[in-house]
Every structure is written in C-alpha cells, then in structure tokens.
Amino acid sequence: MTATSLNPAPANSLAGFDTPASKLLILTCSRFGQVTAISPTDSESNITFRWTYIVLPAFILLVSLVLAIVFYPRLPEEVAYHFNGDLPDRWLGRAAFTGWTVIAQAILAVSAFSLVGIVLLSARRWSVESPTLKKLLPVMGNMVALPQLIILFTMLYVFLYNSYQVRLISVLAFAVIVLAVGGAVLVVLIVRAAHQARRLYSNNHRE
C-alpha cells in the first residue's frame, strides 16, 4: 500500500476567485479583522442614472422655455415685475426679464443633474448598492423643482399681467403654499426612506 503525500496548497490558489466563473470574491477587512464575502456581480450592478431622478426640473425648464417663446412677442418693451399693492412700481426690459428667469431655471435644472451625478459617482467609487439610495435619489434630484415652481409662477404672473392685464394670486402667497406642501412631502419621503434603511439594517444584523 503506497502512502500518498498531501502537498500544501500553493499560495496563489485563491487566484481562481478572480475569474468570471467564481461565485464569491473574498475581501479581507483588516480594520475589523474579519472576512466579508460578496458576489462579483455586486460591483457590476451599480446604480445607473435615470431621467426620473430629475424629471421635474427638466419638465419645468421645458415649460419655462415654452412660456418664454409664446409670451415674448406679446410683451411690451418694458414689463412691470414688482407691485406695490395693485400698482406696479418697478419695470425691466422684456429681454432682460425673460432671459434672467430662463437662465435661472436652466441653472437649477443643471444643479439637479449635477447633484444626482455626484451621488452616483460616489456610489460607484465606494461600491455602494442600497435600495434606500435608489429611493432617495429621486427626492434629491426633484426637490430642486420647488424653487423652479416659484420662478415659473413668477414668469406666468408677469407675462399675464403685462400681456392681458390678468392678475393671479401674489407670488409670495404661491411661494408659501409651494414650500409648505413641498416641505411636507419631502419630510414624509425622507422619514419613509430612513425607516426602510433602519429595517434593512436590522434584517442584515439578524442574519
């Protein structure tokens, strides 16, 4: 009977875990002194950009452009944009007013896109894959729509008054309504996302 010698596994025997056929990647967390196994597909399933993350800022920018194109030929050379009671007390050239409001809308829309882009790049850099983050991204990107709505209403208010002498509710009253409703919706969404994150964290620790 011949004895069979058992040779120790070579030091590079874990190299097979780098192949696509491997089921797990073993990462040594020296800081915590433990080994964490993750699926190789996790690093490939990064959160991707979706237009739903900035749909409201993009839509409001488009509406602002349409309003500017429709009303600009109907405006006088000088438009009243500030009122003391029922009487206008400040005027501005129609090109300046239209240009500044559209530029403001564009800046806010680009800011929403940039904010979402920075979060996505950070998530990819640190290999973050979280259902909570997917729920927060639409909130983070679309919350820029709140100031955009106020600017859009200001444009409509000035355009209607200077074109047809039509008065709407004051811009201040509209801003209060938008901020109150929008703030309440944001609080509800953030609380729901935090609750789901806590529940997910608890489930992971139980496992």
Residue pLDDT, tens place only, 85-96: 778 999 999 999
Name which of 4-8, 150-154, 171-175 the model is least confident about. 4-8
* pLDDT over 60 (residue 191): yes
Q: Which residues pair with residue 87 across a beta bridge?
A: 84
Output the pLDDT for position 16: 45
Quote the CA–CA distance of 65 and 108 in Å, as a whole number. Answer: 14
Q: Is 97 in contact with 7 (CB distance < 8 Å)?
A: no
* pLDDT over 70 (residue 42): no
Q: Which residues pair with residue 204 across a beta bridge?
A: none
Q: Which residues pair with residue 88 across a beta bridge?
A: 83
Q: Which residues of 9-28 are buried (b: 16+ CB within 10 A; e: fewer)?
A: eeeeeeeeeeeeeeeebeee
Q: Which residues pair with residue 82 across a beta bridge?
A: 90
Output the pLDDT for position 12: 46
Query: Which residue, among 190, 191, 166, 149, has the nearest Cα to 57 in the 3D structure?
Result: 149
What value does the mean pLDDT take over residues 35-57? 65
